[in-house]
Amino acid sequence: MQQAVDFKGFTRIRRVAAIAVNTHGGRAKCLQRLIRLDFPVPETVALSFDAVHRIADGQMTDVDTLLGIFGTKPLLSVRPSSEDPDWGGPGAMLNVGMNDARHAELTQSHGAEAADGLYLRFVQSYSVHVARLDPDMFEFDKDATTAAALKTALAAYMDETDEPFPQEPAVQLAEVLRSMARAWEGTTARLLRQAKGAPAEAGLGLVVQAMALGVGPGESGAGVMQLVDEVSGAPLIKGRYLRQAQGRDAMAAGAQTQVMFLTRDKRGSSLEADCPEIFAELVRISKLCRVKLREEMQIEFTIENGKLALIDAVRVQRSARAALHVAVDLARDNIIPKSEAVTRIAPRSLTELLHPQIDPRGSRSLITTGIAASPGGASGKAVFTSAAAQASAARGEPCILVRRETAPEDIRGMHSAAGVLTERGGMSSHAAVIARGIGVPCVVGASEISISMRGHAFTTARGVTIKEGEIITLDGTTGQVLAGEADMLAPALDDHFVELMDWADSFRDIGVRANADTPKDAATARNFSAEGIGLCRTEHMFFDGDRLTVMREMIFAKAPADRAEALSRLLPMQRADFIELFQIMQGLPVCIRLFDPPLHEFLPHDRAGLRELAEALDLPLSDVTRRVEYLSEFNPMLGMRGVRLGITIPEIYDMQARAIFEATIEASTQRGGEAVVPEIMVPLISAKREVELVKTRIDAVAAAVRNETGKQFTYRLGVMVETPRAALRAGDIAANAAFLSFGTNDLTQMTYGLSRDDAGRFMNTYVQQGVYPEDPFHVLDVEGVGELLAIGAERGRARHPGVTLSVCGEHGGNPESIAFCRAHGFDYVSCSPYRVPVARLAAAQLAI
Ligand code: PEP
Ligand code: MG
């Protein structure tokens, strides 16, 4: 056992004392600022991280000298002061120094009730937190008098420890300091703060302050005040005050009748009305705090016999929308520069503002959880098929589409649903990608549910069964699934949001485009100020009603002439799609990816669907079944898709190219002759020759269209780098490409040999066990996939210096991945429309 050694290690907080956040913690520094502002802060002493560490180690500060600073017989509070308040720390201890003698004196000066209350509070917290006695023994019924409770508490202490309650203030203080110092070093506290981002060696400071009592004669009490609403961010005076109270009692008291709201309420009593001068002083202090501390603070105050004391000030805890309002308002008021407002907002928190959000104040009846795949909250009736989702939408009833996993034919159902829940899948599975693209809240990989498609119901591991038509709520921001309907907060795209994003754009130096497949996506992308479309997945245009039938006719065509006929019917539809996209994007670049998925995705998979198709095509069922079987592949994601399809059935790309060029001519005419320059992107390239073959055909289509129409236009042809070989051979490939767009979804899938549609099943285990630091479909794997990106970018640029480089996989909207792209000189990132603001802000922060 180490010998106790007295050392100092404390500093009286004065205007000039050396107090720093990284030596004494945020609370000590903040109190020094309040003292410098001449606010009525009681005498305060700060113990440094080093001192607290030594105390935890068995040494002890010179408590007699420390006590001496506070005059005779002080009552003290001790509170934690960590570097970042979010890292937590032991709870405050109040009324240190209370003993029998002080109790007798205070009974005379402040009355028995007040004196009993002060002593009881100290005995309770000392017994539980310092002596570590059973808390139940120090809990008392509401109807027990304070005097009786005090007597019982002192007796319980004696019973449990065989010693009377310590009477010596120096002993009390030393024990309180020791217990708080040790609590910080405990394993649970350490793990908790590390989970909040604290470094392993994070220190704790302690603040010892003279108590302002808040109980006793005259106007006495304690409360808090702030100048902003913590949920909406709206400026308003807000607070609570409780008579005959200490510390943060007013907050805990809730709606008890004693609570006095700071502004007049219906009962007619308020601090403002009863003590106008104190109220005015509190408002003055709060306003000055905002300006001088450059932050919205909640001040904590005590009134002792009509005299105001400022005990503390803490940053107002706030919602994402309040944080944005506060930052913009501080910059508008010239309290902080615009660049600082931009850096104060966590990019990911913006997603909360773009979607309806489950009101955090409401109760939640959790039934299961999955992967939070697309943010926002949605409530609706559970439905189990896309047809039911569409029917529900037609009736105007919000619904949640529940599927094992989604397939391309579910897109219309997903569009119709308020939210999507799948049992399988991960961050880049079909459901997740589509839901993020269309801004529908989505939870995937909810592997604890079991769906009965026949019974139209699902059951959770907790044994809750949800039948079709019953209302559930999804929280796509947290991955929670709740029973029943939840209260929602509306999206907050207000002037504050727009202004912050404008400031962000003025700092940003990497482009941000959107992945947009439909006119609705494109409009959303424009709304969020995307600088163009970086990926239009054209296959999504073929799943709609009539088109699906024509598409199937094309797939079933026996002779080239039949195929040409079907394609000629698809051509005007595609042309109209592209004209609309060009119109919406108003001259901004639009990058159109040629057809990518395997053909069988367009075919029915069950008997009923096959029969329907046979009828529609007027073919025998056996023919249709045979053809579908022929088209099915063992491993379709590595099979005949992307450019492989383009080379094998070139007529499809020919039709798409023609539609793009004809739309280009039309859109240029509509823009008064201003040139529209489309970008055409070829998917799944792995060899230079693939690019050459496709380029030759597309150039030929362009020449034919120019010839037929007599109109001139240009276009840019580029490729997607989404196979490892394309990254390695990017030099060869870039020779024929105006741009290289890295499709990091497929590239991640192929680099790891990890199916993007199945990884959800084990991803949690893998991340928990540290096999992967994060889900690589979510955060770019910088070490592996990142190396391929770096190699591809370098080789592509070396061969073709003017080549445009971008990322259009899901990672394009991820702040860490954007940092990687920026560091490697990429020109832009492209992400789902709803992530465009996140990407703009993250990119701006990298440049500040
Ligand atoms: C990719 O693979 O990263 C990509 C953008 O294409 P898709 O997600 O459509 O396969
Ligand atoms: Mg891909």
Tens digits of residue pLDDT in 543-602: 776 788 899 889 988 888 999 999 999 999 999 999 999 999 999 999 999 999 998 888
User: Nearest C-alpha to atom 6 of ligand 1 is from which residue?
Assistant: 743
Is the minimum distance from the CB of 748 to ligand 1 under 6 angstroms? no
The span from the first CA to the last CA of the chain, in angstroms, equals 52
Q: What's at 779, amino acid-wise?
A: V
Q: Which atom of ligand 1 is closest in space to residue 683's alpha carbon?
A: 6
Confirm whether residue 495 is marked as ligand binding: no
State in Å: Cα 722 to ligand 2 middle.
Answer: 6
811: DSSP letter: G
Higher pLDDT, 381 or 230: 381
Pocket test for ligand 1, best of 739, 746, 806, 811 (most atoms within 8 A of CB): 746
- Which residues are the active-site residues? 430, 808
pLDDT value of residue 253: 56
State in Å: Cα 748 to ligand 1 middle.
Answer: 10
Is the minimum distance from the CB of 809 to ligand 1 under 6 angstroms? yes
**Do 377 and 475 meet the contact criterion of CB atoms below 8 Å apart?**
yes
164: DSSP letter: P
Nearest ligand by distance to the CA of 745: 1
Confirm whether residue 746 is marked as ligand binding: yes
Higher pLDDT, 520 or 147: 147
Tokens of 420: 């999507």
State in Å: Cα 637 to ligand 2 middle.
Answer: 9
Confirm whether residue 626 is marked as ligand binding: no
Is the minimum distance from the CB of 29 to ligand 1 under 6 angstroms? no
**Do 81 and 116 meet the contact criterion of CB atoms below 8 Å apart?**
no
Nearest one of 818, 821, 848, 822 to 836, comparing CA atoms = 818
User: Nearest C-alpha to atom 4 of ligand 1 is from which residue?
Assistant: 743
Task: Please say if the pLDDT value at position 266 is more than 80.
Answer: no
pLDDT value of residue 258: 46
Report the C-alpha gap between 504 and 514 in whole angstroms: 17
State in Å: Cα 515 to ligand 2 middle.
Answer: 12
User: Residue ranges of the alpha helices (H) in 671-784?
Assistant: 688-709, 724-728, 730-734, 744-752, 760-768
Residue spans per domain, the chain: 6-210, 221-318, 360-489, 508-538+588-596+646-847
User: Nearest C-alpha to atom 3 of ligand 1 is from which residue?
Assistant: 743
Is the minimum distance from the CB of 352 to ligand 1 under 6 angstroms? no
Range scoring the smallest mean pLDDT among 233-237, 267-271, 535-539, 595-599: 267-271
Q: Is 78 helix (H, G, I), strand (E, B) or coil?
A: strand
333: DSSP letter: T
**What distances in angstroms separate CA 804 from CA 219, 787, 825, one per listed residue?**
71, 18, 10
User: Nearest C-alpha to atom 8 of ligand 1 is from which residue?
Assistant: 745
Convert the pLDDT of each residue in 349-373 to its tens digit: 887 788 888 888 788 899 999 998 8
Report the C-alpha gap between 244 and 258 in whole angstroms: 9
CATH 1.10.1790.20 for the 508-538+588-596+646-847 domain, yes or no: no
**What distances in angstroms separate CA 50 from CA 24, 60, 188, 203, one per listed residue?**
9, 12, 21, 8
Same fold, 6-210 and 221-318: no
**Ion ligand 2: protein residues whose beta carbon lies under 5 Å:** 722, 743, 746
Domain 6-210 in this protein, CATH class: alpha beta
Residue 239 confidence class, pLDDT cut points 50, 70, 90:
confident
Residue 380 has phi, psi (to 5 degrees) of 180, 175
Nearest one of 521, 515, 579, 573 to 831, comparing CA atoms = 515
Range scoring the smallest mean pLDDT among 111-115, 464-468, 473-477, 520-524: 520-524
Pocket test for ligand 1, best of 521, 537, 538 (most atoms within 8 A of CB): 537
Q: Is beta strand 442-444 parallel, antiparallel or unpaired with respect to 419-422?
A: parallel
Q: Is 515 helix (H, G, I), strand (E, B) or coil?
A: strand
Confirm whether residue 706 is marked as ligand binding: no
Q: Which atom of ligand 1 is closest in space to residue 428's alpha carbon?
A: 8
Nearest ligand by distance to the CA of 538: 1
Q: What's at 449, amino acid-wise?
A: I
Report the C-alpha gap between 271 and 128 in whole angstroms: 34
Q: Which CATH architecture has domain 360-489?
A: 3-Layer(bba) Sandwich (3.50)
User: Nearest C-alpha to atom 9 of ligand 1 is from which residue?
Assistant: 537
Nearest ligand by distance to the CA of 685: 2
pLDDT value of residue 255: 43
Q: Cα torsion at 746, 747, 750, 753 (round to 10°)?
A: -100
Tokens of 727: 């990254």
**What distances in angstroms separate CA 169 from CA 7, 75, 165, one per listed residue?**
18, 9, 11
Is the minimum distance from the CB of 756 to ligand 1 under 6 angstroms? no
State in Å: Cα 692 to ligand 2 middle.
Answer: 20
Average pLDDT over the chain, rounded to an integer: 91
Number of C-beta neighbours around residue 67 at 10 A:
22
Residue 488 has phi, psi (to 5 degrees) of -120, 150
State in Å: Cα 839 to ligand 2 middle.
Answer: 20
Model pTM?
A: 0.82
CATH superfamily of 221-318: ATP-grasp fold, B domain (3.30.470.20)
Confirm whether residue 745 is marked as ligand binding: yes
Report the C-alpha gap between 91 and 251 in whole angstroms: 15
Pocket test for ligand 1, best of 436, 591, 637, 722 (most atoms within 8 A of CB): 722
Q: What's at 286, amino acid-wise?
A: S
**Dihedral sign computed on CA atoms, order 673, 674, 675, 677:** negative
The continuous run of DSSP H or E covering 512 comes out as strand 511-515
Helix pair 146-161, 112-125: axis angle to 10 deg: 30
Nearest ligand by distance to the CA of 437: 1
The b/e string for 331-355 (b: 16+ C-beta within 10 A; e otherwise) is beeebbebbebbbbbebbbbbbbbb
Is the reported ipTM for this assembly greater than 0.95?
yes
**Do 841 and 345 meet the contact criterion of CB atoms below 8 Å apart?**
yes
**What distances in angstroms separate CA 848 from CA 425, 513, 839, one per listed residue?**
37, 20, 14
Q: Which atom of ligand 1 is closest in space to residue 433's alpha carbon?
A: 8
Q: Is 45 helix (H, G, I), strand (E, B) or coil?
A: strand
**CB neighbour list of residue 587: distance below 8 Å, 6 or more residues apart:** 671, 674, 676
Say what percent of the chain tops pLDDT 70. 97
Q: Which atom of ligand 1 is closest in space to residue 537's alpha carbon?
A: 9
Q: What's at 7, amino acid-wise?
A: F
Helix pair 169-185, 49-56: axis angle to 10 deg: 90
Confirm whether residue 593 is marked as ligand binding: yes
**Do 260 and 270 meet the contact criterion of CB atoms below 8 Å apart?**
yes
Helix pair 545-556, 621-631: axis angle to 10 deg: 80
Q: Is 239 helix (H, G, I), strand (E, B) or coil?
A: strand
**Do 367 and 464 meet the contact criterion of CB atoms below 8 Å apart?**
yes
Q: What's at 303, amino acid-wise?
A: I
Q: Which atom of ligand 1 is closest in space to residue 515's alpha carbon?
A: 5
State in Å: Cα 421 to ligand 2 middle.
Answer: 23
pLDDT value of residue 196: 80
Is the minimum distance from the CB of 751 to ligand 1 under 6 angstroms? no
State in Å: Cα 757 to ligand 2 middle.
Answer: 12
Long-range contacts of 166-171 (CB under 8 A, 24+ apart): 166/99, 166/126, 167/99, 167/100, 167/101, 168/99, 169/67, 169/73, 169/74, 169/96, 169/97, 169/99, 170/63, 170/64, 170/67
Task: Please say if the pLDDT value at position 2 is more than 70.
Answer: no
User: Residue ranges of the alpha helices (H) in 508-634?
Assistant: 519-527, 545-556, 560-585, 607-617, 621-631
Is the minimum distance from the CB of 743 to ligand 1 under 6 angstroms? yes
